[in-house]
């Protein structure tokens, strides 16, 4: 339980940190920020890799989680990069 309190603390601090970090974003970057944040939410891939393997059902669930998180990670970063490369100042 102590562990949860500690991690809950990390969770709250990270949210506040996030709110502080991104509070003033120029509207030009709204889409790239959203898409880049979306790629970061693919961190679920780490969670998927931590799953246990006990029986076929668990394997299927793990495979699904790894597959979809990977699509999110690769697709998210690539498309953000593609988008950012278009933003140019002449």
Partner 1 sequence: MENLANIQVIQNMIYIISSVMFILGIKMLGKEATAVKGNYLSALAMFFAVAITCLSLEIDIKIILTGVLLGGLIGSLIAVKVKMTAIPEMVALFNGFGGLATFLIAWSQFNEPDNSMFQHVLVMLTIYIGGITFSGSLIAYGKLSEKLKLGKGSMITNVFISFFYLSMPALIYVMIEPSLAGLVPQVPSYFVIFLVLTLMAGIGFVMPIGGGDMPVVISLLNSLSGIAAAFAGLLLLNNVLIVAGSLVGASGLILTIIMAKAMNRTITNILFVGYASSGHAASSEEQGEVKPITSDDAYLILENASSVLVVPGYGMAVAQAQHVVREMGELLEENGTEVKYGIHPVAGRMPGHMNVLLAEANVSYDLLAEPEDVNPSMDTIDVAIVIGANDVVNPSATEEEGSPIYGMPIIEVHNAKTVFVLKRSMSSGFAGVQNPLFFRENTRMLFGDAKESIGQVVAEFKD
Residues numbered 54 to 73 that lie near partner 1 (CB under 8 A) are 54, 57-59, 61-73
Helices and strands (H and E) in the chain: how many = 4, 0
Position 87 contacts partner 1 (CB under 8 A): yes
Q: Least separation, in Å, of the C-beta of 56 and partner 1?
A: 11
What φ, ψ does residue 10 adopt, rounded to 5°? -60, -45
| Interacting residues with partner 1 between 5 and 64 (CB under 8 A) | 7-8, 10-11, 14-19, 21-54, 57-59, 61-64
What φ, ψ does residue 71 adopt, rounded to 5°? -55, -45
């Amino acid at each position: 339980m102590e562990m949860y309190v500690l991690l809950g603390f990390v969770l709250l601090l990270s949210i506040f940190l996030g709110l502080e970090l991104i509070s003033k974003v120029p509207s030009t970057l709204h889409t790239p920020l959203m898409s880049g944040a979306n790629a970061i939410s693919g961190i679920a891939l780490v969670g998927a890799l931590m799953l246990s393997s006990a029986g076929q059902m668990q394997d299927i669930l793990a495979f699904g989680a790894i597959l979809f998180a990977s699509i999110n990670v690769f697709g998210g970063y690539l498309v953000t990069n593609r988008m950012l490369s278009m933003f140019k100042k002449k």
